Amino acid sequence: MTFSTIAALAITAGIAYWGYSTLATDGEADDPQVVNATKELRKFLDAWEAGDARLAGQLTDTPDNAESLITSVMTNLKPSKTEITTGGGDRKAEGEVEVPFTVRMDLPGAGKYTWESRASLRGDDDRWKVEFRTQMVHPQMVPGQTLALKSRERAAILDARGRELQAASLVGVVDAATGKGVSGLQARYDRQLTGGTGAAKSVVVVDRQSGRVVKQLTGTAAKGEPVRTTIDPEVQQAAADALDGVEKNAAIVAVDPSTGNILAVANRPAGMNRALEGRYPPGSTFKVVTAAALLEQGMGPSDRADCPKFAYVNGQRFENQDQFVLPAGSTFRDSFAHSCNTFFVNSRDRLSDTALRDTAAAFGVGGTWDVGTVTYDGSVPVPDNDNHKAASTIGQARVQMSPLVMASIAATVKEGAFKQPVLVPEAVKERHEATARLDAGTVEALRSMMRATVTEGAGEALRGIPGEPHAKTGTAEFGTETPPRTHAWMIGYQGDRNLAWSVLLEDGGSGGSDAGPIAAKFLRSLTG
């Protein structure tokens, strides 16, 4: 339950002012006492409308009490619009008049709220005072009480162990004014978390001393149901810790290859969920897919794979990072482990124009994933020309992936088959099934090549880490600058446990040199 504490309230533009009076009719309209008393009440109500509790109080018989309660009500409810109209007054006795009035408020998160009340005034001729009573402000209140807004009892978003999920960019934000989820899982599951539709807040009567709700005036007491995710708190903490101190935008995703369960989603800074929704060129991490396509065409890891400094396609020059070359007699495994662009570009003629798209389908790319939250599920378009085809082999051109998809690609190698990632199992209606499957020999070859990336190639940042990490680095060019800026990637999995992962460092330099240490920090946290 949330409501504002009692505080002095200045007149602000947030409280609009509509002042007019509807005086008594028929015989009472001619009664000077009713007319004068109603005019005096109108001054009080006008001050209340405008949020001037001090002025309103001065027009009553107990100024301090009136100012305190009106301040409390207006501070707690924070109306964006207040309108109070009077009805026909009635003389109860000589010098005593009673006037009905109606209060209408627009309340953030609670909608429109209207109530009827009556005011008593005492006086003579043109000198009248409002008799201030708590019930006059609202007939459902007694002394010692006030009005407030209460948010629906919002259920929690839970991790896999039933604890409240600690992942800000994944959980999202609830608007403090309206009580509605506006981003992340809070927005997607707002209805489930709050227990239904309708206003997110209700008007209640509360005890002014304790804040305890004593009466519900609007809405219902419906309770929400928690949202249960697959996030493993240990893995999530390791991912968050690995990004601690990183100055670039970055993301880490971890999945369980055997089930597809998403174990961690970390973003830095929090806000945009780039880990699941980001669209990036994957660079050389995509060579896992290209290598799979070449293996499916009959190439073997020990086959010769020349790695020259440059490769040319219709006048366009492709080169390796820092223009490295591999010695004569280098193998397919060598070129993969060291991430040789020129070998992959020169191997494009071994592949049909649709080969990369079709092979990516075995990794689940090309379908729509029902994960339980918003995701970007990757795209491998058929190339328009030979230059696009060449660039696509190294994860450039129009190839785009999210960190989640790249973690899933590593997971597919580990498991031997695609298992669609899932975050909120109860919300998933139909998991995407891959429309193709990798040969067993292809899977075994990819595993050996990803292990070689760590033991003898560009993934040296992971050497010495327990659990037999397998990896692929990536340095993805983007933008139009010369030389181009680059995103840094590393993806991989652990040989001794069901854990696959991807690391992205936006505009972060090199996969091996910059993303690699982040991946190493993540894995060391998990291996002790």
Q: Express each pLDDT in 107-161 by its tens digit.
A: 998 899 999 999 999 998 789 999 999 999 999 999 999 999 988 788 999 999 9
Residue with tokens 């971890």: 254
Same domain, 242 and 130: no
Residue partners of 322: CB distance under 8 A and separation at least 6:
none
pLDDT value at residue 175: 87
Which residues on adjacent β-strands are paired with residue 216? 204
pLDDT value at residue 13: 30
Q: Decide if 304 is inside a domain.
A: yes
Q: Decide if 186 is inside a domain.
A: no
Which domain-ending residue is among 128, 148, 168? Answer: 148
Q: What is the CATH number of the domain that holds 402?
A: 3.40.710.10
Please tell me what DSSP assigns to residue 67.
Answer: H
pLDDT value at residue 199: 76
User: Domain of 368?
Assistant: 233-527
Start-to-end C-alpha separation, the chain: 41
Reading the block at residue 116, the tokens are: 């009827």
pLDDT value at residue 22: 41
Residue with tokens 């798209």: 357
Q: What is the mean pLDDT of the chain?
A: 92
Same domain, 395 and 287: yes
Q: What is the CATH number of the domain that holds 107?
A: 3.10.450.100
Please write the tens of the pLDDT for every residue from 389-410: 999 999 999 999 999 999 999 9
Which domain-ending residue is among 125, 148, 171? Answer: 148
| Residue type for position 358 | D
CA 156 to CA 369: how far, in whole Å?
25
pLDDT value at residue 221: 65
The percentage of the chain sitting over the pLDDT mark of 90, rounded to a whole number, equals 86
Inform me whether the pLDDT recorded for 70 exceeds 60. yes
Residues present in the chain in total: 528
Same domain, 244 and 121: no
- Dihedral sign of CA atoms 36, 39, 43, 44 in order: positive
Q: Decide if 191 is inside a domain.
A: no
| Residue type for position 323 | Q
Q: Decide if 482 is inside a domain.
A: yes
Alpha helices, H only, 284-415: 287-296, 332-337, 341-346, 355-361, 386-392, 403-415
Identify whether 282 is preceded by a cis peptide bond (ω within 30 of 0): no
pLDDT value at residue 321: 92
Please write the tens of the pLDDT for every residue from 14-40: 333 333 334 344 445 579 999 999 999
Inform me whether the pLDDT recorded for 381 exceeds 50. yes
Same domain, 142 and 282: no
**Model-level pTM?**
0.79
Same domain, 382 and 510: yes
Task: Work out whether strand 90-93 and strand 81-86 pair parallel, antiparallel, or are unpaired.
Answer: unpaired
Inform me whether the pLDDT recorded for 5 exceeds 50. no
Q: Decide if 445 is inside a domain.
A: yes
Q: Decide if 201 is inside a domain.
A: no
Whether the CB-CB separation of 489 and 283 falls below 8 Å is answered with yes
pLDDT value at residue 8: 30
Whether the CB-CB separation of 185 and 172 falls below 8 Å is answered with yes
Which domain-ending residue is among 98, 115, 148? Answer: 148
CA 203 to CA 218: how far, in whole Å?
5
pLDDT value at residue 12: 30
CA 100 to CA 371: how far, in whole Å?
57
Q: Decide if 183 is inside a domain.
A: no
Same domain, 244 and 363: yes
In which band, very low, low, confident or very high, does the pLDDT at 223 lie, cut at 50, 70 and 90? confident
Please write the tens of the pLDDT for every residue from 302-359: 999 999 999 999 999 999 999 999 999 999 999 999 999 999 999 999 999 999 999 9
Whether the CB-CB separation of 337 and 511 falls below 8 Å is answered with no
| Residue type for position 386 | D
* Overall domain count for the chain: 2
Q: Decide if 226 is inside a domain.
A: no
Same domain, 137 and 247: no
Residue among 303, 315, 420 nearest 368 (CA): 420
* pLDDT (mean) for 400-425: 98
Same domain, 25 and 130: yes
Task: Work out whether strand 213-216 and strand 227-228 pair parallel, antiparallel, or are unpaired.
Answer: unpaired
What is the phi-psi region of residue 312: left when phi exceeds 0, alpha when psi lies from -120 to 50, beta otherwise?
Answer: beta
Please write the tens of the pLDDT for every residue from 169-221: 999 999 877 778 999 999 999 999 988 767 778 999 999 999 999 999 998 76
The secondary structure of 141-202, three-state, reads CCCCEEEEEEECECCCEECCCCCECCCHHHHCCECCCCCCECCHHHHHCHHHHHCCCCCCEE
